[in-house]
Amino acid sequence: MTILGARPRIAVAVFPGTWSERDFLHVATEVLGWQARPVWHAERDLGEVDAVVLPGGFAHGDHLRTGAIARFSPIMEAVEAFARSGGPVIGSCNGFQVLTEAGLLPGALMRNDHLEFRCDWQELRVESPSSAPVWLGELQEGEVIRLPISHGEGRYVADPATLDELERAGRVVLRYATATGEVTDAANPNGSDRGIAGIVNAAGNVLGLMPHPERAAETEVGGSDGLRLFRSLERWLQERPAPAERRVSSS
Amino acid sequence: MTVVPPPAEQLHGLTDAEYGLVVDALGRTPNAVELGMFGAMWSEHCAYKHSRPLLGRLPSSGRQVLVGPGENAGAIDIGDGLAVVFKVESHNHPSAVEPYQGAATGVGGIIRDIFTMGARPIALLNSLRFGPLDADATTDAATATRNRYLFGGVVGGIAGYGNCIGIPDVGGEVTFDSTYSGNPLVNAMCVGIARHEEITLARAAGAGNVLLLVGATTGRDGIQGASFASANLGDDREERRPAVQVGNPFLEKLLMEACLELARRDDVVAMQDLGAAGLTCALAELTARGGVGADVDLGAVPRREAGLTPYEVLLSESQERMLIVVTPDGVAEVEAVFARYELHAARIGTITDEPIIRCRDGADVVVEVSGRSLADDAPRYEVRGGPFAPSSSAAVDDLASEAPSAHVLLALLGAPNARDRKPIWRRYDHMNGTNTLVGPGAGDAALLRVKGTSRALALSIDGPGPARVGALDPYLAGASAVVEGAMNVAVSGATPIGITDCLNFGSPETELGAWQLTRAIDGIADACRALDLPVVSGNVSLYNETPQGPILPTPVVGTVGLIDERDAALRMGWRPGEEIWLLGDPADDAGALAASELAWQRGIHDGVPVLDVGGAARVVGLLSLLAGRGIARGAHDLSVGGLGVALARMALAGGCGARIELEASTVPTATLHGERAGRVIVTVEARRASELTSAASDAKVPARRLGRAGGSGLELRLGEAELELSIDELSTAWRRPL
């Protein structure tokens, strides 16, 4: 049971070839003092956790297609069950790609339009944070945050009807933007449809984003806007009306 | 015994005389497999036949040195029970024929050297050289197009490998010069952190211990890569593609995680990665270092294709493989670690007391040689450099007395050798691991925190400064590369603690090549002594010649610095109101322009460059003190384009102009664009300027006040001449795409 004020417990899935699990674990344990556990992809049990992280990297070497093999890793059954029961799930970078392959989020991530890998700090406009208080409760509509991006295949695409529906339902929550919050082609680092950098599922508990919030959690590494996503989760866990025991396993 | 050597095409690059030495070592004639092994191991690439006697001149010891040259990488104590483990290595020849895979496998190879030591890699850096990317007076359009292809492939390969394996590429440098057309240089450096007790050496021991070959399967790629890298590049580049290996960063990521788990275990005796000359080299070095032998069953080597001969199995340079020596009772658990990462771990043999490598193919013994003969007994050739005859230059004198102009400054700032490298480094993940405090483009050195401590590492990789000084005096190429690295680290506020070097030269068998190599090594050695820096690891790449001639002598130095309290780090830009000072030899003489970018742009290839290494060392010491006491706030090393370009870069980094006043000079262009190494700009708050001058005076370092930061442009007065440049103008010039 999650007790008010208790330390959040998170599971960070580790696939062969992912790497940002190390950075998520650092933020969770060293910066925030949470309990965090790496879970190898071949496991089937997430244990008792409040949230699940799908990290960035090159799961299974991105062979076949980004996320396409990871989606079939044994742990994903437990992740999917956890997500469908309303458990908070965040997929960053490669994790976002896995979420789309797993069908937990719509659309797909394609090769950047300029065909190059891109690593840089990136301004993002926050939209409809109320659609996903789990992850964005500490953020304001229309504000601009700065997070690192680091990807070769981050161009978000979906068919126009899906894009329209995402926008209508307030499920587009982050867009690539200028420092003043304008969504322009020049500010779009990869050619994503409508400048989309992050979306949530209809229930608002599953967030997929290409940027790396775990790399922006301490000012000395260049910024701490990413920490606000973690703080949002912490607050949501404390304030949610009926803390539920979450032990999700596919076995 | 009269030895009749086989025809040259069967000698694997050995000379007839060397063949005789092989026969002496064995006491019989070698079979074809053994001869192939000797050919690879006694190649320049593996045996350092021409460079090893010279490398002995480099200082390699020091109080903090934990592991010096001779292992997979060097290691230096950084306190808190931690060590920094680092090495630089070249992949020049492969990158000349297949730039993407050549560069990628260079990165993969240097990463393996670090995690083989039990250290977790935390950073990559690289030093690159190409011919001009655009046609100019030195380079025709077809050559420029080829250079651009090589450049794109190399950058893509570095990005592809480093990004996938997840090690941030935090810094580097690139220089363009026509001597590198067709013979690019790709030097990759990797830096790791290990706990002292987890450092693992490549020293086999213990008869009966098991040899595990782990990682990738063995195939026909990269056969004869070592001997290919030990000859000049001919016009047959396309035919040499089979000598280049193909990288798989995903596999190496798994191998790295598995090996780092192993480094914590007591039952792992030694680890050695398979690089040049593959299994042959790994077996030879492991057993030679430990004074033992090995009994190997070649049939147990996992293969990716059928029909491999013993020769191919022993000489394949298939990537992402490691040889591990494990005590018998630990084998099952070690195998289980590899199984979890879905990697092969094959028991291919055992360690023996008798110092002989015996390889079996089925029932047949196909190889019976001593590891020491292969690894250590290659002949050493004396390389002797001639005297240096400096040539004074009226052209340099004329250039020095030219009146400075905004046009010249902007042209230097925007020159391919000075302009913004962001189009390169934005393709590299430089933040992975969340240690990067100062990344590429933001400082002279990268700054990485050491988690769990208050410390930070400053990392830099540098060639000579000026970049072409080796064309005039290779001694200064060596010395200035060491000085550049130390300066770049020191302007970050760190104290340099050690270096790794990569010596890129032409053929040592020519008089010119021998002279260049010898003098450069003497220059490195002298500068290291002046700066009290040990050389803990390194690599030599010779035969960098094409039918058009040799490359510029290019010693490359990777420097590691340490800051105990990382809050004391210096930034590169300045803030409004800060005073701007020049520390070190003001270089108001025409010689400062010798070999400079400006001289080369004007086609002036002579002059007498000089460098006061002792004076540079005093500047480095002073910087540590200024940073430690919080006196200096910003600092930047002078390099391409000299003082003028350095001021422009600090203005751009701070987003703030400055007013600079220099005394009238008879050599104003030397003052403004001379590139003599060993000088830095520092900024201080006005109230602390007296502390700066008194510290400089105590350290016997010349200090000259240049002006004050502020305003929206760089106003530069030099005697009568007045230059005014807006930040926008500077930005436009510097940010021209490559």
Query: What is the spatial distance between Cα B430 and Cα B159, in angstroms, rounded to a whole number?
Result: 10
pLDDT tens column, B267-276: 999 999 998 8
CB distance from A58 to chain B under 8 Å?
Answer: yes
CB distance from A7 to chain B under 8 Å?
Answer: no
Residue B388's SS3 state is: coil
* Mean pLDDT of chain B, nearest integer: 93
**Closest to B671 in 3D by CA, of B701, B714, B704:** B704
Which tokens belong to A115?
């065909």
- CA B347 → CA B255, B338, B352, B356, distances in Å? 16, 12, 15, 18
Q: Which residue has the tokens 């394996």?
A: B165
Give the phi and the psi of residue B308 in degrees, each rounded to 5.
-70, 135
Q: What percent of chain B has pLDDT over 90?
A: 84
Contact at CB, A40 and B451, closer than 8 angstroms? no
pLDDT tens column, B670-687: 999 999 999 999 999 999
Tell me which of A17-26, B139-148, B182-191, B308-317 is least confident. B308-317
Judge whether A150 and B432 are in contact, CB under 8 Å: yes
**pLDDT for the residue numbered B63:** 85
pLDDT tens column, B410-421: 999 999 999 999
Q: What percent of chain B has pLDDT over 70?
A: 97
How far does the CA of residue A242 sit from the closest CA of chain B (Å)? 36
Write out the residues of chain B at the interface with chain A, using a CB-CB cutoff of 8 A.
159-160, 163-166, 248-251, 253-254, 340-342, 425-437, 449, 451, 566
CB distance from A231 to chain B under 8 Å?
Answer: no
How far does the CA of residue A173 sit from the closest CA of chain B (Å)? 24
Number of domains within chain B: 1
Query: What is the spatial distance between Cα B576 and Cα B709, in angstroms, rounded to a whole number?
Result: 5
Instruction: State mean pLDDT over B293-297.
Output: 96
**Closest to B409 in 3D by CA, of B659, B665, B738, B729:** B729
Residue of A21, A60, A80, A93 marked active site: A93
Asked if the structure places residue A2 within a domain, the reply is no
Range of the domain at B302: 201-377
Per-residue pLDDT band at B6 (split at 50, 70, 90) = confident
Tell me which of A136-150, B113-127, B197-211 is least confident. B197-211
pLDDT tens column, B472-493: 999 999 999 999 999 999 999 9
Which strands, in side-by-side order, build the sheet including B554-563? B436-438, B446-449, B456-462, B554-563, B495-504, B535-541
CB distance from A60 to chain B under 8 Å?
Answer: yes
Nearest-CB residue to A215 (from B342, B434, B449): B434
Query: What is the spatial distance between Cα B149 and Cα B147, in angstroms, rounded to a whole number?
Result: 5
pLDDT tens column, B29-45: 999 999 999 999 998 88
Query: What is the spatial distance between Cα A193 and Cα A183, in angstroms, rounded to a whole number?
Result: 11
Contact at CB, B250 and A120, closer than 8 angstroms? no
Residue A144's SS3 state is: strand
The radius of gyration computed from the CA coordinates of chain B, to the nearest angstrom, equals 26
pLDDT of A140 strictly over 80: yes
CB distance from A20 to chain B under 8 Å?
Answer: yes
How far does the CA of residue A58 sit from the closest CA of chain B (Å)? 6
How far does the CA of residue B253 sit from the closest CA of chain A (Å)? 6
Contact at CB, A23 and B432, closer than 8 angstroms? yes
Asked if the structure places residue A251 within a domain, the reply is no
Judge whether B633 and B683 are in contact, CB under 8 Å: yes
Per-residue pLDDT band at A1 (split at 50, 70, 90) = very low
Q: CB pairs below 8 Å between A and B: how many?
A: 83
What sign for the dihedral angle of Cα A70, A74, A75, A80? Answer: positive
What sign for the dihedral angle of Cα B658, B659, B662, B667? Answer: positive
- In terms of pLDDT, which residue wins out, A223 or B62? A223
Query: What is the spatial distance between Cα B597 and Cα B417, in angstroms, rounded to a whole number?
Result: 8
Contact at CB, B250 and A17, closer than 8 angstroms? yes
- Interacting residues of A168 by C-beta distance below 8 A, sequence separation 6+: none
- CA A183 → CA A125, A154, B292, B322, B415, distances in Å? 8, 16, 66, 49, 34
Angle at B711 between CA B710 and CA B712, to 5 degrees: 130
Partners of B721 in beta bridges: B718
Which residue in B has a C-alpha nearest to residue A66's C-alpha? B164
Judge whether B688 and B616 are in contact, CB under 8 Å: no
Query: What is the spatial distance between Cα B117 and Cα B272, in angstroms, rounded to a whole number?
Result: 8
pLDDT of A249 strictly over 60: no
Give the phi and the psi of residue B91 in degrees, each rounded to 5.
-140, 55
- Interacting residues of B211 by C-beta distance below 8 A, sequence separation 6+: B294, B296, B323, B324, B325, B347, B348, B349, B350, B351
Asked if the structure places residue B325 within a domain, the reply is yes
Here the CATH number for the domain that contains residue A198 is 3.40.50.880
pLDDT tens column, B337-375: 999 999 989 999 999 999 999 999 999 999 999 999 999
What amino acid occupies position B685? E
**pLDDT for the residue numbered B711:** 95
**Closest to B99 in 3D by CA, of B162, B149, B168:** B149
Nearest-CB residue to B434 (from A26, A58, A62): A26
Query: What is the spatial distance between Cα B246 and Cα B235, in angstroms, rounded to a whole number?
Result: 22
Here the CATH number for the domain that contains residue B317 is 3.90.650.10
**pLDDT for the residue numbered A2:** 45
Query: What is the spatial distance between Cα B270 and Cα B204, in angstroms, rounded to a whole number?
Result: 6
Residues of chain A contacting B249 with CB distance shorter than 8 Å = 58, 61
Could you tell me if residue B181 is left (phi over 0), alpha (psi between -120 and 50 degrees) or otherwise beta?
A: beta
From the number of C-beta atoms within 10 Å of its C-beta (0-12, 13-18, 19+), residue B368 rates as middle
Which tokens belong to B728?
């926008």
Which residue in B has a C-alpha nearest to residue A117's C-alpha? B427
Per-residue pLDDT band at A31 (split at 50, 70, 90) = very high
Asked if the structure places residue A223 within a domain, the reply is yes
Q: What H or E segment, with its residue span, contains residue B26?
A: helix B16-26
**Closest to B226 in 3D by CA, of B16, B22, B44:** B44
**Closest to B465 in 3D by CA, of B155, B123, B127, B50:** B127
Asked if the structure places residue B708 within a domain, the reply is no
Interface of A with B in 81-100 (CB under 8 A): none
Nearest-CB residue to B428 (from A19, A61, A119): A119
Nearest-CB residue to B434 (from A17, A120, A221): A221
CB distance from A34 to chain B under 8 Å?
Answer: no
Beta strands in B177-292 (DSSP E): 185-195, 210-215, 268-273
CB distance from A61 to chain B under 8 Å?
Answer: yes
Asked if the structure places residue A1 within a domain, the reply is no
Contact at CB, A61 and B250, closer than 8 angstroms? yes
Dihedral over alpha carbons A171, A167, A150, B569 (to 10 degrees): -80
- Interacting residues of A68 by C-beta distance below 8 A, sequence separation 6+: A101
Query: What is the spatial distance between Cα B239 and Cα A44, in angstroms, rounded to a whole number?
Result: 50
Asked if the structure places residue B284 within a domain, the reply is yes
Per-residue pLDDT band at B631 (split at 50, 70, 90) = very high
Instruction: Please write down the HEC assignment for all residues of B494-530.
Output: CEEEEEEEEEECCCCCCHHHHHHHHHHHHHHHHHHHH
**pLDDT for the residue numbered A5:** 58
Active-site positions of B? Answer: 45, 91
Judge whether B106 and B186 are in contact, CB under 8 Å: yes
Residues of chain B contacting A69 with CB distance shorter than 8 Å = none
How far does the CA of residue A57 sit from the closest CA of chain B (Å)? 7
Nearest-CB residue to A117 (from B250, B427, B433): B427
Residues of chain B contacting A119 with CB distance shorter than 8 Å = 163, 425-431
Per-residue pLDDT band at A243 (split at 50, 70, 90) = very low
Residues found in chain A: 251
Per-residue pLDDT band at B332 (split at 50, 70, 90) = very high
Instruction: State mean pLDDT over A28-44.
Output: 97
pLDDT tens column, B399-408: 999 999 999 9
Query: What is the spatial distance between Cα B7 and Cα B341, in angstroms, rounded to a whole number?
Result: 46
- Interacting residues of A131 by C-beta distance below 8 A, sequence separation 6+: A169, A170, A171, A173, A200, A204
Nearest-CB residue to B437 (from A26, A117, A220): A220
CB distance from A22 to chain B under 8 Å?
Answer: yes
Contact at CB, A118 and B426, closer than 8 angstroms? yes
Q: What H or E segment, with its residue span, contains residue A173?
A: strand A172-176
**pLDDT for the residue numbered A185:** 97
Asked if the structure places residue A249 within a domain, the reply is no
Which tokens belong to B504?
């890129």
Judge whether B87 and B114 are in contact, CB under 8 Å: yes
Give the phi and the psi of residue B315 in degrees, each rounded to 5.
-110, -5
β-bridge pairing A9-14 and A35-40? parallel
Which residue in A has a C-alpha nearest to residue B165's C-alpha? A17
Asked if the structure places residue B240 within a domain, the reply is yes
B283-311 burial by CB neighbour count: b if 16+ within 10 A, else e?
bbbbbbbbebbbbbbbeebebeeeebebb
Asked if the structure places residue A161 within a domain, the reply is yes
B312-327 burial by CB neighbour count: b if 16+ within 10 A, else e?
bbbbbbbbbbbbbbbb
Residues of chain B contacting A150 with CB distance shorter than 8 Å = 163, 429, 431-432
Contact at CB, A61 and B429, closer than 8 angstroms? no
Contact at CB, A148 and B431, closer than 8 angstroms? yes
Residue A202's SS3 state is: coil
How far does the CA of residue A176 sit from the closest CA of chain B (Å)? 17
ipTM reported for the complex, 2 dp: 0.94
Q: Give the CA count within 13 Å in the CB-facing half-sphere of B119.
A: 32
Could you tell me if residue A162 is left (phi over 0), alpha (psi between -120 and 50 degrees) or otherwise beta?
A: alpha
**Cβ neighbours, 10 Å, residue B700:** 10
Range of the domain at A158: 9-110+118-244
The radius of gyration computed from the CA coordinates of chain A, to the nearest angstrom, equals 16
Number of domains within chain A: 1
Contact at CB, A16 and B253, closer than 8 angstroms? yes
